[in-house]
Amino acid sequence: MTRCYTDGLNIKPTGMNLHDTGKTLMQITQKHKGEIYIFSLAGRFDIQSAPEVEEKLNLAMSQGARRLLVDLDGTEYMSGAGLKVLLEIEEKLKKEGGKIRLCRLRSYAKEVFDAVQFGEILETHTSIEKAIGSF
């Protein structure tokens, strides 16, 4: 389970170490740019790490965040569990007048998004700057 400590509204990552293997599977970092919460994911976004990512995104929403940006540049792998989390967060935000944007998808993730037409549901951008400008 990822352990993070909070310093005001900024979440400081400590990484995720599952099953005491010593291998960090997902690191989640967060920063703010105005009203936009930017989450950078590094590692595997799969069945093991998806609940932790979902928890962090939900925590930000519970603190009033309505504009979430997920930077996937460091994501080595994304399973259906990761995609499900992103879709569920998008649905919650939409109901509350918020938005989620994704940026810097690696080629394999972009191919998956295109193949299942998630690009029609989740807006993606090639850079953090472009994603920020889309809000």
* pLDDT tens column, 80-99: 899 999 999 999 999 999 99
pLDDT in tens, 115-126: 888 878 899 999
Tell me the three state secondary structure of residue 49.
coil
pLDDT in tens, 50-89: 999 999 999 999 999 999 999 999 998 888 899 999 999 9
Q: Candidates 3.30.590.10, 3.30.750.24, 1.10.357.10, 3.30.565.10; correct CATH number of 4-133? A: 3.30.750.24
Strands 26-33 and 67-78 come out as: unpaired
Tell me the three state secondary structure of residue 54.
helix
